A and B are shown apart, each in its own frame.
Chain A
Amino acid sequence: MSGEVLIRCDDVHKTYEARRTLRELVMPRHGDGHAIRALDGVSFRLERGRVLGVAGESGSGKSTLANLLVGLERPTGGLIRMGDRDLARLHGKELLAFRRQVQMVFQDPFASLNPRFTVRRTVEEPLVIHGIGDRASRLARVREALEEADLRPAELFLDRFPHQLSGGQRQRAAIARAIVLRPSALVADEPVSMLDVSVRAGILRLLRGLVDRLAMSLVFITHDLSLIGQMCDELAIMYQGRIVELGPALDVLAKPLHPYTRALIAAVPVPDPEQRPADDAVALLEAMAPSASVHGCRFALRCVYAVKRCHGDDPRLRPIDGAHEGACHEIERIRTAEKEKSWRH
């Protein structure tokens, strides 16, 4: 690895304590039945200028990860480092300085812009908060950010309200807000899933272009695996608060290691009527209990390849092909089985 590591997560945990009811306070139950483990030991590092895709079902912890990375929430365990700073230890002024470094693009461009702010105020606001420049220089930076987000000419958009913009334009305004502080990292939480298909590619290209030009790092959170190839250098597949597979994006898509990744990829519909849809083996996953076994692999109860060991022994991410890692005991066996299957066809 050559580049400078910008984001580093080491064994990050986030546990939510549910509020106890009166009855439970009086008669406490054993165990930590109340804790919801949203993130359960997540580790990765991301270099400057690279894009990490994070994919998984709802409840896999990908949104929690986003909130932790931008400092909206604090981890309950582990280490998140941004450059040389440890996020969990930041307070006051330092936290504010950190916030300049990481910005976020949200899923819903209709709700992530203040409906009473013009585009100009929306994009200017981060500058005002951080006390950057005077009125004139701020306006110049707002203009620049808008043009970088392909809202050209900026004059045309400065005085518009969100409801006067199309979905794609709103998301561009939100991106302009995110880059106006010149952050070194961006977190994009499903940035195109609410947009019309015809404008999605433009937003994705814009984000990728900004990452390359401004040498930022981007964490791209999505449930749509078919967008990963366009955007990402690396890909992390999350399941129940864990990264179960991590590696170069195209390798993960082309040669998935983990049974869960295989199922995810097989389940994606394809815009081709000639393609035979995935069989019910994948669909079966849905019906099976999603509750995780406590000691073994989180996926074991839904896994068609699970053996006895999977229920007792918790697999950790381990390198398989160079940088391509998987958290599964049976990767080698599954590979051979799949190869035989494809030979027979």
Chain B
Amino acid sequence: MATMSLLSVENLSIEYRSRRGVVRAVRNTSFALEAGKTLGVVGESGCGKSTLAMAVLGLLPPTAAVTGGAVKLGGRDLVRLDPEKLRGLRWRKMAYIPQSAMNSLNPVARLRDQFHEIWHAHGGARDGVREKAEALFIRVGLDPRRLDSYPHELSGGMRQRAIIAMALMFEPELLVADEPTTGLDVIVQRGVLNLLRRLQAEEQMSVIFVSHDIAVVAELCERVAVMYAGEIVELGPARAIFGAPCHPYTIGLEQAFPDIRDPMRTLVSIAGAPPRLDRPLDGCPFTARCPFAVERCRIEKPAVRSIAPGHLVACHFAAEAEINRKRAREPLVWQRGGTA
């Protein structure tokens, strides 16, 4: 698929290094995102989804290093770009919405001043900031008078809206949102979700949406990448991922996730824990928890295969997913691990 992708991540590997050893947080991961499209990245804590998001933005902490692969934004490799140039791209070409708005806003500066500072630091024109900031606040559903508030004077939902307004300052092509609604109350979350969906449609931005909440991703994203132990194990259109998941982990995750429309459905719990990433992994990383695993899974790493246009799965038995989906409905299946 050589269509115009705005962002393409190619065989990306990222390691964290400390005295205690090397953690291979992201391993050989590839995906592409076309202009104006939305991609959800789901997975459990420690699966590497946030690391991946940070790598796309070039915001990895100093202990992390890209050990292979490329992150290409509009053809330019961000991994090899000089930090000054990368800084120039952030905000202008790509913006970031973090989970905790409180921590990313300066607590002792009025929102207006923070707006101005970012605007000027990234070379915004001398005039028109004021109007721009007010217009953006109206767009995200905030009273423009709130620009004169300090962050602590706003509620959690309002702060998240303010952050979204700032992210849109330069009309970026790519927006990376890392758990933007986690920790918000249901009704507040609903407001922020609806806002994000509306803005994405209006601006035709590309959005990477990182979340552990598959319901939120189902609602916002056209494509979904499921990560497990530092790898994308399944990637495809949201309809396929939720309608006919093929990787056993995706199947399990969906069976584990509650749905308020069906409150009595028995939820499964996947036995065991993700593998440690500080030692080499042979075979499929999900083997130890997979109810369908066989000897082959432990030895041979499954190749990423395409089972439908745009639907990729890293499982030896992707072709037999139909049977696995049926078996997976029985919660007892998930109570013990596979052969390993």
Contact = CB atoms under 8 A, between A and B. Distances in A.
In the complex, A touching B, CB below 8 Å? yes
Interface of A: 57-58, 166-168, 196-205, 223-230, 249-250, 253, 263-275, 277-278, 280, 282-287
B219 A269 contact: yes
Contacts of A203: 269
How many B residues are at the interface, by size bracket?
Answer: 35 or more
Contact of B218 (A198, A270, A285): A270
Contacts of A286: 157, 187-188, 190-191
A52 B218 CA distance: 30
Interface of B: 44-45, 141, 157, 185-191, 193-195, 197, 212-216, 218-219, 221, 238-239, 242-243, 252-254, 256-271, 273, 331
B193 A269 contact: yes
Given A198-B270, A202-B269, A282-B190, A224 B258 contact: yes
Contacts of B259: 226, 270-272
A283 B218 contact: no
Contacts of B273: 166, 168
B258 A287 contact: no
A200 B191 contact: no
A272 B258 CA distance: 11
Contacts of B257: 197, 271
A240 to B, nearest CB: 13
Contact of B185 (A58, A197, A226, A274): A58
Contacts, number: 139
Q: Is the interface of A mostly helix, strand, loop or mixed?
A: helix
B126 to A, nearest CB: 33
Given A268-B260, A269-B213, A269-B216, 19 more contacts: A167-B45, A198-B252, A201-B256, A223-B186, A224-B258, A225-B186, A227-B258, A229-B264, A230-B267, A249-B263, A253-B263, A269-B189, A270-B259, A271-B218, A272-B215, A272-B261, A273-B239, A277-B194, A285-B191
A201 B267 contact: yes
Contacts of B252: 198
Given A269-B216, A271-B242, A283 B253 contact: no
B43 to A, nearest CB: 9
B214 A283 contact: no
Contacts of B264: 229-230, 250
Nearest to A263: B187
B219 A285 contact: no
A256 to B, nearest CB: 11
Nearest to A197: B256
A273 B260 contact: no
B185 to A, nearest CB: 4
A196 B263 contact: no
Contact of A283 (B194, B215, B265): B194
Contacts of A287: 141, 191
Given A57-B186, A223-B186, A225-B260, A197 B191 contact: no
A273 B218 contact: yes
B307 to A, nearest CB: 18
30 contacts: A57-B185, A196-B44, A198-B252, A198-B269, A198-B270, A200-B267, A201-B268, A201-B269, A203-B269, A204-B267, A224-B258, A225-B186, A225-B260, A226-B259, A226-B260, A229-B258, A229-B260, A229-B263, A253-B263, A264-B187, A268-B215, A269-B189, A269-B215, A270-B260, A271-B242, A272-B259, A272-B261, A278-B190, A285-B191, A286-B190
